[in-house]
Every structure is written in C-alpha cells, then in structure tokens.
C-alpha cells in the first residue's frame, strides 16, 4: 500500500486477527493488530537511526613493509599470510582502489531477508577493535572476508603488488608478487611436511610414537615412525601422534572451526577449571565464521588452514581446506571444494613471491 502526499491511506476488510505493518526509510517499523484499529486512526513513526562504528578512513598510503608483516616463510622465495584476508583488509582495498561499485565488491545477490541483513552487517566497513580478542560480534572487521568473486581476490592481490612495488618508500625487497597459490603450494603451506618434495603426496613426516597411546606419553628415546602424508596426515596438527586424523583434542575441544557431526563427543572441562566453566554452545565455539587466528597455528605460523572458510587457489572454482559448514572429514589438508559464485563459505589467503631482492 502506498500513501498519498499527506501520508494517508485506506484499507478495506481488515479483520480483528489481521495485522498491518507500516514502514518508511529512516523510521522504526510499526506493526498494529486489526483489533486495535479504529477508523480513522493516526499512526506515528518514530525516527530510527542505526549508529555504526566509526569508519576508519585515511588518505595516508600504506607503508610497503607493513604488507610484509603477516607473511610467513614457506620455502625459498615463497611466503604466505598467517591469516585469511579479513573484512578490514578487503574493505581497505575497495576504498583505496575505488573498486567498491564494480565486480570486485562483496556480492550478496545470493541471499534474501535475514541472511542478507546479516552479511551486510558482517561486511560493513568499520573501524577494527584495538583489542582483537575482545572484538564484539557487532564488529566483524577481523573476521575473514567472504562473498568475494575469484576476480575480486585476484584484483586484491594485484592491488597489493602495485602498492608494494610502486611505493617510493624504503622497502625490504625490490619487487614482489602477491597472488593466489597453486594447489600444491597451498597443501605444502597448510600441512608443513618436511619438504622432501613440492608434490605433497610424495612427502612423509616423522612422528614420535607414544608408549602409552591413551595418555600420549612418549618414550625418552623419542622413537619415531614414518607416516606418508597422503595416507596418514589430514590436519595441520599432525605432530601429535593421535591427532593426525582427529579434529578434537583429548578434552574433545575442536581444533578448528568445522560443522559438528550430529553425534560427537562433547567437550570435557579441563582439570582444575572453575565450577562455572561451561563448554562452548557450539562444539567449536562458532556458528559460522570464526575470528581470524582463533585457533593454534601450524608449524609455519598459518592459522585456520582447515575449516573456518575454504580458501581459493589459482584455479577458478576451486577452494581448499573446507569451511565452517563442512564436517571434519570434508575439511582436511586434502579437501578441495567447488564453488560457482561468491559464497559465505569461501574466502582466500594471500601468498607472496619475492621476484627481486
């Protein structure tokens, strides 16, 4: 129903059990039951302003060496960011590159109603919390950026490359290239086998075998056994004998952000925990995406390589490691998800190659 220029309208056949909803941009929506209406009736709308966190905008160019801070050495000239690209970082790219209105912006066309409202709030451009661990769920700046096209991820990497290489400021390296990884590079970085080969399936790891397999007590001589990565290593925490193929630790806490199976062992409060200690409402603590770096890193220093969000590689339509919406067996070092469009389950991690020192 549309009003006239005075805001007046007429409704016929409104029963006592019916309801009408009156809304206008910038005002709080009012719902009224038919039993409470009299003719004529005046409905007042109260002004309603949603106050977002302060937007952090700066005209100052990025310092090139700041772009290297999250990078961790993989092997030779190859590095990888320690976390997935965050909403703050991707919004910074959209602002500085002027790409907010084109194909590189967040794509929410796949959502309706409540989900669309959630992701608009999730990916809004807000100032990040100074205390990362206390970042409220109303501010998702340090959460992984999702709903981004493959082209958007490639454009982000190209923008970082230009920002670094074209900067007149003193740089650690003369020339670098930020990019998405190949499948093999991603698996090597995620799993951190001890690099006998750049082909992940050809690698093996040596893991100490516990004398007591229940308590994980390792003998003094640290007897080790060879495990072929492809067959025996599913997760980046493979260094613990029992955790090669397990997503939960000995207290049944999840070691990554996964979709919990219908039947899974609930967590056990740690010994000495206060009586008021409660296990997370969700088995892994999160209903969707987790804040970046919420779990332990792998040996290289990379967080959330499995679970949380599946990570794009250089092959369009392929993302590795599974997401928060995948069961643990489908979110391993060997998992490759297909995607056909931007998704709330797919993000990306930036790799960097030193081209000239």
- Structure tokens that stand for 305 in this block: 């390589």
Both 173 and 141 in one domain: the answer is yes
Q: How far is CA 185 from the centre of its chain?
A: 20
In the chain, the number of structural domains is 2
Alpha helices (H) in the chain, listed in sequence order = 87-97, 113-122, 150-165, 183-191, 229-232
CATH code of residue 153: 3.90.1580
87-97 vs 150-165: helix axis angle to the nearest 10?
70
The answer to the question of residue 338 being in a domain is: yes
The answer to the question of residue 208 being in a domain is: yes
The answer to the question of residue 231 being in a domain is: yes
**CA 344/CA 143 separation, integer angstroms:** 12
Other C-beta atoms closer than 10 Å to the C-beta of 172 total 12
pLDDT digit of tens for each residue in the chain (357 aa)? 555 545 566 766 667 666 666 665 445 566 666 666 666 777 656 544 444 444 444 434 678 889 999 999 999 999 999 999 999 999 999 988 876 567 799 999 989 989 999 999 999 886 544 444 444 445 899 999 999 999 999 999 999 999 999 999 888 999 999 999 999 999 999 998 788 899 998 999 988 877 665 555 555 566 788 889 988 999 999 888 788 898 988 788 889 999 988 777 777 777 777 777 777 766 777 889 999 999 889 999 999 999 999 999 999 999 999 999 999 999 999 999 999 999 999 999 999 999 999
Both 198 and 86 in one domain: the answer is yes
Both 163 and 286 in one domain: the answer is yes
Both 106 and 150 in one domain: the answer is yes
The answer to the question of residue 54 being in a domain is: no
Report how far apart, in Å, the C-alpha atoms of 323 and of each of 292, 327, 332, 346 are. Answer: 13, 8, 10, 7
Both 83 and 37 in one domain: the answer is no
The answer to the question of residue 59 being in a domain is: no
- Structure tokens that stand for 329 in this block: 């067996």
**CA 267/CA 172 separation, integer angstroms:** 45
Report how far apart, in Å, the C-alpha atoms of 348 and of each of 196, 228, 305 are. Answer: 26, 27, 10
Name the pairing type of β-strands 217-218 and 224-228.
Answer: unpaired
The answer to the question of residue 55 being in a domain is: no
The answer to the question of residue 7 being in a domain is: yes
The answer to the question of residue 56 being in a domain is: no
Both 97 and 44 in one domain: the answer is no
The residue range of the domain holding 257 is: 64-356
């Amino acid at each position: 129903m549309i009003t006239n220029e005075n805001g007046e309208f007429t409704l016929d056949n409104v029963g006592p059990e019916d309801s009408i909803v009156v809304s206008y941009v910038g005002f709080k929506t009012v719902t009224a039951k038919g039993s409470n209406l009299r003719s004529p009736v005046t409905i007042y709308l109260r002004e309603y302003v949603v106050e977002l966190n302060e937007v952090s905008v700066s005209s100052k160019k990025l310092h090139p060496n700041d772009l290297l801070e999250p990078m961790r050495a993989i092997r030779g000239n190859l590095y990888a960011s320690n976390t997935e690209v965050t909403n703050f970082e991707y919004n910074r790219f959209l602002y500085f590159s002027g790409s907010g209105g084109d194909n590189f912006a967040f794509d929410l066309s796949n959502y309706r109603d409540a989900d669309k409202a959630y992701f608009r709030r999730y990916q809004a451009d807000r100032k990040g919390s100074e205390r990362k661990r206390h970042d409220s769920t109303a501010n998702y700046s340090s959460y992984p950026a999702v709903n981004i096209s493959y082209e958007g991820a490639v454009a982000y990497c190209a923008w970082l490359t230009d920002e670094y290489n074209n900067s007149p400021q003193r740089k650690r390296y003369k020339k670098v290239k930020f990019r998405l990884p190949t499948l093999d590079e991603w698996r090597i970085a995620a799993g951190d086998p001890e690099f006998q080969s750049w082909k992940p399936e050809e690698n093996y790891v040596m893991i100490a075998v516990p004398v007591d397999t229940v308590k994980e007590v390792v003998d003094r001589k640290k007897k080790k056994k060879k495990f072929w990565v492809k067959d025996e290593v599913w997760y980046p925490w493979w260094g613990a004998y029992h955790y090669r193929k397990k997503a939960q630790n000995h207290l049944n806490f999840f070691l990554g952000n996964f979709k919990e199976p219908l039947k899974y062992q609930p967590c056990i409060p740690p010994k000495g925990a206060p009586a008021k200690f409660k296990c997370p409402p969700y088995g892994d603590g999160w209903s969707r995406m987790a804040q970046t770096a919420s779990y332990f890193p792998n040996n290289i220093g990379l967080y959330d390589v499995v679970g949380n969000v599946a990570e794009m590689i250089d092959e369009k339509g392929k993302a590795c490691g599974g997401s928060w919406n995948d069961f643990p067996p489908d979110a391993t070092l060997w998992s490759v998800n297909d995607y056909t469009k931007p998704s709330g389950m797919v993000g990306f991690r930036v790799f960097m190659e030193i081209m000239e020192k």
